[in-house]
Amino acid sequence: FSLVAFFVYNETMAYYLHRLFHNPWLYKKIHKMHHRYHQPTAWSAVAMHPLEFIMYQGYLAATPFLVPIHAFPFLFVLLYSYYYGLCDHSGIKMGAIWPWQPHSYFHDNHHKHFHVNFGFNTYFFDWFHDTLRKESRVYGEEVFGGRGKQSQKSE
């Protein structure tokens, strides 16, 4: 149970924290550093502002001090998330291994189109909040909220 619970907690925190960093002010002052990598590499997975890094690592590091969790599910979810974070930033097109997991270019599209596809290990929150990238929309660095304009092609 704790493996699934920690996975869901991690994905929930990662999604909402990522969305928070796409607030116009936070994006321009903090998160934009990570988005300098329009075509990400594995190194860009951790290339971020120190405050952003501390916030992401902080909620993970605090977990075993706040709730009882065995070392195995804690380390498994951590390693799983870090591994797929590297894959998602590798620039290599890889299909999803698990049914809940996005393919690697899901996150590449986040870097290319900026304010869409915020999820880390699932599509769920992007689906739920309607922030999945849509082919019929035009996005850009200044188009916040994942609500790109209708493209000319789709009209």
Amino acid in position 87 = C
DSSP letter for 90, please. Answer: S
* Residues 117 and 131: beta-carbon distance below 8 Å: yes
- What whole-number distance in Å separates Cα of residue 7 and Cα of residue 108? 22
* Residues 51 and 144: beta-carbon distance below 8 Å: no
Q: What is the pLDDT of residues 27-68, one digit of tens each?
A: 889 888 887 766 667 677 777 899 999 999 999 999 999 999
* Residues 111 and 40: beta-carbon distance below 8 Å: yes
Q: Is the pLDDT of residue 83 over 60?
A: yes
Section 73-83 average pLDDT: 91
* CA distance to 69, 136, 147, per residue, from 46 (Å): 25, 31, 27
Helix (H) or strand (E) holding 149: strand 149-150
State the virtual CA torsion across 102, 6, 60, 22 in degrees, nearest 10. 40
Among 70-74, 114-118, 141-145, top mean pLDDT goes to 70-74
Which of 48, 54, 20 minimizes the C-alpha distance to 34? 48
Token pair 């200044």 in the structure block, residue: 142
Residue 92: alpha-carbon gap to chain centroid = 17
% of residues, the chain, pLDDT over 70: 86
Q: Is the pLDDT of residue 155 over 50?
A: no
- What whole-number distance in Å separates Cα of residue 13 and Cα of residue 11? 6
Between vectors from CA 103 to CA 115 and to CA 43, what angle results, nearest 5°? 70
